């Protein structure tokens, strides 16, 4: 038993170190520059650190007013300690998110171990998360979805422990589930719906111990009241108004203007949303180009790797056929997890689906173990070795491909999305502003030069 525990500890430590390396290595250079949100969060955190007020003079606000919208407070406040230690720079801005991404590996291991009581499932799941291009991609810059997904994982884990345990877990679950709503916008829709459905499903179990539910709901209410206030009275709902599906061009053009003539046409609105919802199950999004890490490519990176397809299929079969602990919670988690992004007017965004990584990787982990069992049951050792060797070779090729995309193609192709070069322009203008009466920045010409520079040699500009 002691040797087994030491082996598990060494393996888990190795997995976490690997995941941390993939999230931290060259973090200030890839992505190649801070994007607008990172700059905004960094300056707000710096301002609060120095004065206790944001850039608009508000004392410790619960919503950050930015240019054109309002931002959630948790990502900014998490940057304050790192800026205090490392100064106002790229590393300090990106450190909290990379740290949360790495910490997610440990928490996911503990979550799986607690739910399935199986070390193999927990280790395989934590390994898949450590090498997940989906999770690594968003962990390498200040993107609030990574932190929000960690809080959701903790909140749902403690909710499950509340069902089986005492009221203390109810307070912790409520705290993290509501905290995630202060972290990212997607959970503001996902969390209330998830809570309502899961409580309804578990009503027979909870009605005999209703005190835990009351404590849970009261704690949720206490923590959510400030959020409600800033949402309706301090501009916190601006983001919702901007991205709601009703503002979608396709929705307005093809549904409202062309087909919607009376109340009898209401089903059209529902079918439009269903089409948008089901689009999140497309193979291209899940396995091939969901991350949009390159400009154009036949096979890029999706939410999951190509070699995980058999694992996912076997995991789903196992999940359906076998007795899985708290199966209903995983089903509700998955089905409601697509709701926030399906109700926006933006294109599909895998970052807003990060709170689903525990569901996908749980299924994948269960499927990977089933896959190994199938291969191991083959009696002919030569066939067994051939299949395992071929699959390990496929996995190696896919991971090398992912590494090349994130380390080479992404910073070259997507530098414009991170305002690459604008910092240098601002510094040049600052150093040379006294030499000129007027300085004009032609942003379109500047971006064209950036695009031209990123084209492969021998390519023609179009």
Structure confidence by residue, pLDDT tens digits, 327-340: 999 999 999 999 98
262, two tokens: 């009376």
- Clarify whether residues 150 and 225 are in a common domain: yes
Q: What is the pLDDT of residue 452?
A: 46
Residue 260 domain-assigned (yes or no): no
Q: The pTM is what?
A: 0.89
DSSP symbol at 405: I
Residue 7 domain-assigned (yes or no): yes
Residue 340 domain-assigned (yes or no): yes
- Clarify whether residues 412 and 430 are in a common domain: no
Residue 265 domain-assigned (yes or no): no
Q: How far, in Å, are 22, 44, 336, 394, 414 from residue 52 at the CA level?
A: 34, 10, 38, 53, 35
Check pLDDT > 50 for residue 455.
Answer: no
Cα–Cα distance between 243 and 206 in angstroms, integer? Answer: 37
- Clarify whether residues 43 and 174 are in a common domain: yes
152 within 8 A of 187, measured Cβ to Cβ: yes
**What is the number of structural domains in the chain?**
2
- Clarify whether residues 117 and 188 are in a common domain: yes
Of 205 and 146, the structure prediction assigns the larger pLDDT to 146
- Clarify whether residues 351 and 454 are in a common domain: no
Q: Rounded to a whole number, what is the largest CA-CA distance in the chain?
A: 83
181, two tokens: 């709503």
Of 40-54, 254-268, 391-405, 434-448, the range with the lowest mean pLDDT is: 254-268
- Clarify whether residues 232 and 165 are in a common domain: yes
Residue 67 domain-assigned (yes or no): yes
Least Cα distance to 136 among 362, 291, 341 occurs for 291
Q: How far, in Å, are 99, 157, 209, 362 from residue 113 at the CA level?
A: 22, 11, 26, 11
- Clarify whether residues 318 and 410 are in a common domain: yes
Q: What is the pLDDT of residue 255?
A: 59
Check pLDDT > 50 for residue 370.
Answer: yes
Confidence of residue 412 (pLDDT cuts 50, 70, 90): confident
Residue 101 domain-assigned (yes or no): yes
For the chain, how many residues are written? 462
Check pLDDT > 90 for residue 123.
Answer: yes
- Clarify whether residues 373 and 444 are in a common domain: no
- Clarify whether residues 78 and 206 are in a common domain: yes
Least Cα distance to 329 among 144, 153, 128 occurs for 153
Check pLDDT > 80 for residue 298.
Answer: no
Residue 276 domain-assigned (yes or no): no
- Clarify whether residues 402 and 460 are in a common domain: no
Average confidence score pLDDT of the chain:
87
Sign of CA dihedral 349, 355, 361, 362: negative
How crowded is residue 108: how many other Cβ atoms within 10 Å of its Cβ? 26
Cα–Cα distance between 305 and 99 in angstroms, integer? Answer: 23
Residue 368 structural domain: 2-243+282-420
Cα–Cα distance between 370 and 120 in angstroms, integer? Answer: 11
> Cβ-count burial of 181 within 10 angstroms (0-12 exposed, 13-18 middle, 19+ buried)?
buried
- Clarify whether residues 145 and 166 are in a common domain: yes
Residues 6+ apart with CB under 8 A from 176: 151, 152, 154, 155, 158
Residue 452 domain-assigned (yes or no): yes
153 within 8 A of 166, measured Cβ to Cβ: no
Check pLDDT > 90 for residue 130.
Answer: yes
- Clarify whether residues 341 and 441 are in a common domain: no
Check pLDDT > 60 for residue 27.
Answer: yes
288 within 8 A of 299, measured Cβ to Cβ: yes
Q: What is the pLDDT of residue 260?
A: 57
Taking residues 442-448, report their average pLDDT. 56
């Amino acid at each position: 038993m002691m040797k087994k525990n030491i082996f598990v500890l060494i393996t888990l430590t190795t997995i976490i170190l690997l995941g941390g390396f993939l999230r931290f290595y060259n973090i200030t250079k890839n992505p190649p520059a801070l994007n607008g949100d990172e700059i905004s969060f960094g300056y707000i955190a710096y301002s609060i650190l120095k004065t206790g007020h944001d850039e608009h003079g508000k004392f410790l606000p619960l919503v950050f007013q930015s240019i054109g919208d309002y931002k959630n407070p948790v990502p900014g406040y998490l940057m304050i300690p790192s800026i205090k230690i490392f100064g106002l720079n790229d590393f300090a801005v990106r450190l909290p998110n990379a740290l949360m991404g790495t910490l997610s590996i440990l928490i996911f291991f503990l979550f799986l171990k607690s739910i399935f009581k199986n070390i193999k499932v927990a280790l395989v799941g934590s390994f898949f998360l450590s090498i997940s291009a989906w999770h690594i991609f968003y962990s390498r810059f200040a993107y609030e979805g990574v932190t929000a997904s960690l809080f959701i994982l903790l909140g749902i884990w403690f909710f499950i422990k509340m069902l089986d345990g005492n009221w203390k877990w109810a307070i912790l679950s409520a705290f993290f589930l509501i905290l995630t709503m202060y972290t990212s916008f997607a959970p503001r829709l996902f969390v209330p719906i998830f809570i309502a459905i899961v409580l309804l499903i578990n009503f027979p179990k909870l009605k005999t111990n209703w005190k835990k539910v009351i404590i849970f709901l009261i704690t949720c209410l206490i923590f959510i009241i400030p959020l409600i206030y800033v949402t309706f009275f301090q501009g916190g709902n601006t983001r919702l108004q901007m991205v709601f599906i009703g503002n979608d061009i396709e929705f307005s053009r093809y549904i409202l203007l062309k087909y919607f003539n009376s109340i009898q046409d209401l089903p059209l609105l529902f079918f439009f949303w269903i089409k948008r919802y089901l689009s999140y199950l497309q193979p291209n999004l899940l396995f091939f180009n969901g991350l949009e890490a390159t400009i154009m490519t036949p096979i890029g990176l999706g939410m999951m790797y190509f070699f995980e397809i058999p694992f996912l299929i076997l995991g789903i079969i196992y999940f359906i056929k076998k007795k899985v602990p708290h199966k209903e919670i995983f089903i509700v988690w998955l089905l409601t997890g697509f709701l926030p992004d399906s109700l926006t007017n933006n294109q599909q965004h895998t970052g807003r689906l990060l709170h689903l990584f525990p569901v996908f990787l749980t299924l994948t982990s269960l499927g990977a173990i089933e896959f190994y069992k199938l291969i191991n049951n083959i009696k002919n050792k030569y066939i067994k070795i051939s299949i395992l060797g071929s699959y390990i070779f496929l996995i190696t090729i896919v991971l090398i491909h992912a590494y090349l995309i994130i380390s080479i193609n992404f910073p070259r192709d997507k530098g414009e999305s991170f305002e690459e070069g604008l910092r240098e322009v601002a510094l040049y203008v600052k150093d040379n502003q006294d030499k000129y009466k007027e300085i004009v920045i032609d942003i379109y010409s500047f971006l064209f030069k950036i695009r031209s520079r990123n084209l492969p040699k021998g390519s023609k500009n179009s």
